[in-house]
Structure 1
Amino acid sequence: MKINLKHTFIEELPADSNTQNTRRQVKEACFSYVQPKPTKDPKLIHVSDKMASALGFSEADIKSQLFLDVFTGNKVFPNTKPYAMCYGGHQFGHWAGQLGDGRAINLFDIENKTQQWTLQLKGAGETPYSRQGDGLAVLRSSIREYLCSEAMYHLGVPTSRALSLALTGDEVLRDMLYDGNAAYEKGAIVTRVAPSFLRFGSYEIFAARQDFKTLKILVDYTIRHHYSHLGKPSKTTYTQFFEEVVQRTLEMIIHWQRVGFVHGVMNTDNMSILGLTIDYGPYGWLEGFDFGWTPNTTDLQNKRYRFGNQPNMVLWNLYQLANALYPLVESAEPFENSLETFKSDFERRSLEMMKSKIGLNMYDAKDELLIKSLEDCLLLSETDMTIFFRQLGNFKKGSASKGLDFVKDAFYSPQEISDSIAQQWRDWFERYDFRLEKETISDKERRLGMNAVNPKYVLRNYMAQMAIDEADKGNYKLIDELYQILKKPYAEQKNHEKWYAKRPDWARHKVGCSMLSCSS
């Protein structure tokens, strides 16, 4: 394999002086050197052709023994030094202290076509940051991360990527339901890819320890390699850096809300400094439109990370990052200004996004009320978010009286649409139809525009579970089928209509199809 290796992270940042792979507090260091754990009987299940191409891997590379060995932890690529990153974080609103890469090991960086990428194994063994964990990953969670990160990329959502999914041949003990009934599951490794896996917690840990020297080194490194257009590091540059992180994070959350993605565990250690979706744990896709839904059993009582609260949690996390960066600037005003801008920009961007979802381009002062009344209607009964907005694109001007006919397939229980609910919907379609008269584009043009922002195919929770169930039997065909479908989420794909359907009844309460824990 001929790859253009880069070692900027380990060459320019302070390393842990202790080279023993023992659980400990790591001070004044951004990372610790660590070796992946060799696996018993590795087998590649799937490789993302798109990601492999972006990294410069050929077909021959992918089929080579070296590729298998490196991306299953059995061999360290020549002239590289794997490492685990040190970071802290706020978890569910509380400072958790040092966290770090407990089951992720960074292999090396590749530069290809002017883009630099970090390649990381998830599930490759213990690190100094593993705490009570074994550093391993199981097949079910690995399939979910592999498929979802690539699906999100093709949806146009800022995200980390995935290169490969592999079985290790090892058995991993997990208590999936946290009921004391632990069982062995198939071990697996995902190769994750991103320009950087630095997260808010990477900076918080040094601020919390008042290690401002290392904090400055890390911030300067981040600006130099990921925000170089801002110029040389200075107090002004630090505030500009924060402002851009705010805007990138805003862009990410708008996309989450657009496609109905719920991250499930938006702790500050899971927030990318590049505004990418990272750490696919107990995520889920809205099926029934519900602002209060969370896919995380750990969050079930307080629902801190529910769908409707994600924008607030992003802002809360940005406040924590601002607090971490404050010592470098010693002035709160520029951070406060950026955070206030987030609030106003989110309201504006969110309205623009929702207008695009229902095909409105022209300005109308009442559009916000129209969208609010639509959301009220969507909450009257269980209504599939993806299908509703996709079907709404078929609406034709002058068809208000038949509005429900266009979206009826989105209702999970059509029998629950009482006369009063149906009337509320009819009232909304009358207002919608009246509003569309202001638009100058044709029904066809509007539908094309709506179909470009309202996906037809997303990785529904039950779809991922079906792929997991099949993989447990040794059948990996469904993983590839879903991977191929999700590469074109906005296309009609007539041969795959069966996946354009509401969640089946069997998946409503099945573990994995509805909710997962943080460590699944």
Structure 2
Amino acid sequence: MLKTFKSHINEIFTSELPADPIIENNRRQVEEACFSFVTPQQTKKPELIHVSPEMLKQLGITEAESQSEEFLKVFTGNQVLQGTKPYAMCYGGHQFGNWAGQLGDGRAINLTEIEYKKQHWALQLKGAGPTPYSRTADGLAVLRSSVREYLCSEAMFHLGVPTTRALSLAVTGDQVLRDVMYNGNPEYEKGAVVCRVAPSFLRFGSFEIFAAREDVKTLRTLTDYTIKHFYPELGPPSKNTHLAFFKAVSERTLKLIIDWQRVGFVHGVMNTDNLSILGLTIDYGPYGWLEGFDFGWTPNTTDRQHKRYRYGNQPNIGLWNLYQLANALFPLIEDVESLQAVLDDYKTNFESQSLQMMRSKLGLFEADESDLQLIQDLEDALHSAEIDMTLFFRNLSKFEKGKPSNGLQLINEAFYNSAAITSELEAVWKRWFKRYAERLQKESESDVERALKMNRVNPKYVLRNYMAQLAIDDAEQGDYALVDELFNLLKNPYDEQPEYQKWFAKRPEWARNKVGCSMLSCSS
């Protein structure tokens, strides 16, 4: 079984980068190495919950093979493919603005890499046991966090947001002790494993660790490896190439964050070890989707006080993290002015790209100097009362430029409390819709054409936390039907899908402060 998959194994990471010479799986500082070989932990009674048909196809695995005993064992960590050597990656990172030193794959083990149909894929198990980077942790994951990662990574892909992918989700049959809210009340939960997939799982912290240790040799080796395989258009190694590499990473990071802002996604823990060097969404922990439109919202309980990773601050944190990457790459570039120019471009490009993104959400496709003020006034109005971001923008596509008086009626269901619509607020919205209608008169598209375009950038369905929690609650009882329903719903987030209309709704009131439905911890 897995015949085609095995024939395309191509382990470039372990063959081209320096390995940790110590093979014992004990917690330690790993020096002058990009990874450590480690074998996944055997589980008591593995059972597959769900497999992504799209990723099976991407990896050259047939549906029949996915139902085999070998598939189950390999992708739950209970069998190592012949000719492969699983490993955990070494990296460091800044966590909540502070240098944390060595971090590494403490809960993830890379199985292998393949080359299939001119695409390179690394496959990684999250929750497969301890590694040298686990510190005091057990290296395991629970069903709760695994369902969230599995569903969200695939949902993000279909939203058009750069992301790691997910192949499979399984329970292990083991019990894992977790303190879900970090309040001193740990409980046992069902253990689980997700197989996640990406061209590479390298992150900013992969480069920071070697710069911090003044290990320029390994830093150079890793940088040249990354350019060779993932940015080959930049050319052979040189200072100019390394600078171009930093610029390319900066541009991808900005694009990623603009996409997050567009769909209302909040990562929740944008530490430098959680930012992909390829500009992918990586490490789905305490993420969330905006319910009420709020620049100050964060889903992370650890971030509750300072709100460093709040929705409105994500672009700034992207820039802050790029400063740390610039510092890490400086020994290879040695040109402060050129690095600063790239960072300055990020600031300028964010302003222009953010404006363009908001124009597309509003159906404004022919730029006008009045647009910035129109958008700022809209954001002020959205903050004036709790209004659902997804419902608001999706319903706005129904607006007819000849009927500005109907605007408030179109968005009425997006308000969480209709009683909050005072006469003063109603006047604010009526003025805004009047100006919006006037602005749309400058557009050449008809109302129908504009609606089609708006509905391609404003999703109807996103993975709200309460939806994921409902699937988790059922899965804890051994019922995986809702996992499958949400998985299929989120494949077509921009389509009407009337059969799933019940999911086009505001967060229910019972979920406002419920654990898992509002704020979450990093506990996995």
The TM tier, using the shorter chain, reads over 0.9
Confirm or deny that 1:412 pairs with 2:422: no
Confirm or deny that 1:192 pairs with 2:199: no
Confirm or deny that 1:108 pairs with 2:112: yes
Q: Deviations over 1:378-418 (max 9, x none)?
A: 01110000000000000001111121011101000011100
User: Which one-letter code corresponds to 2:28 in the other structure?
Assistant: R
Match of 1:124 in 2: 128
Q: How do 1:72-221 residues align onto structure 2 when only pairs under 5 Å count?
A: 72-221=76-225
| Cα drift, residue 7 of structure 1 | 1.0
| Cα drift, residue 123 of structure 1 | 0.1
TM-score computed with the length of structure 1 as normaliser: 1.00
Match of 2:500 in 1: 496
Q: Deviations over 1:309-347 (max 9, x none)?
A: 000000000000000000011111111111100000010
| Cα drift, residue 266 of structure 1 | 0.1
| Cα drift, residue 298 of structure 1 | 0.2
Does the CA contact (< 8 Å) of 2:301 and 2:519 recur in 1?
yes
Q: Deviations over 1:214-240 (max 9, x none)?
A: 000000100011011111011010000
Confirm or deny that 1:470 pairs with 2:481: no
Q: How do 1:482-493 residues align onto structure 2 when only pairs under 5 Å count?
A: 482-493=486-497
- Name the SS of the counterpart of 2:134 in structure 1: coil
| Cα drift, residue 519 of structure 1 | 2.8
CA distance in 1, matches of 2:63, 2:368: 53
Confirm or deny that 1:11 pairs with 2:15: yes
Q: Deviations over 1:113-140 (max 9, x none)?
A: 1000000000000000001110000000
CA distance in 2, matches of 1:363, 1:306: 29
Match of 1:235 in 2: 239
CA distance in 2, matches of 1:61, 1:116: 20
Q: How do 1:28-43 residues align onto structure 2 when only pairs under 5 Å count?
A: 28-43=32-47
- Name the SS of the counterpart of 2:50 in structure 1: strand
Sequence identity (%): 66
Q: Deviations over 1:467-506 (max 9, x none)?
A: 0000011100000000000000000001110000000011
Match of 1:226 in 2: 230
Structure 2: tracts of 5 or more residues without a match: none
CA distance in 2, matches of 1:438, 1:244: 36
CA distance in 2, matches of 1:461, 1:219: 37
1:449 to 449, 453, 460: 453
Match of 2:388 in 1: 384
Match of 2:431 in 1: 427
RMSD of the TM alignment (CA)? 0.5
Match of 1:50 in 2: 54
- Name the SS of the counterpart of 2:318 in structure 1: helix
Match of 1:481 in 2: 485
CA distance in 2, matches of 1:36, 1:228: 32
Task: Tell me which moved more, 179-188 or 120-129.
Answer: 179-188
TM-score computed with the length of structure 2 as normaliser: 0.99
CA distance in 2, matches of 1:37, 1:131: 16
| Cα drift, residue 60 of structure 1 | 1.3
| Cα drift, residue 162 of structure 1 | 0.3
Q: How do 1:304-315 residues align onto structure 2 when only pairs under 5 Å count?
A: 304-315=308-319
Does the CA contact (< 8 Å) of 2:35 and 2:87 recur in 1?
yes
CA distance in 1, matches of 2:523, 2:206: 20
Match of 1:354 in 2: 358
User: Which one-letter code corresponds to 2:34 in the other structure?
Assistant: C
CA distance in 1, matches of 2:11, 2:511: 45
| Cα drift, residue 148 of structure 1 | 0.2
User: Which one-letter code corresponds to 2:154 in the other structure?
Assistant: E
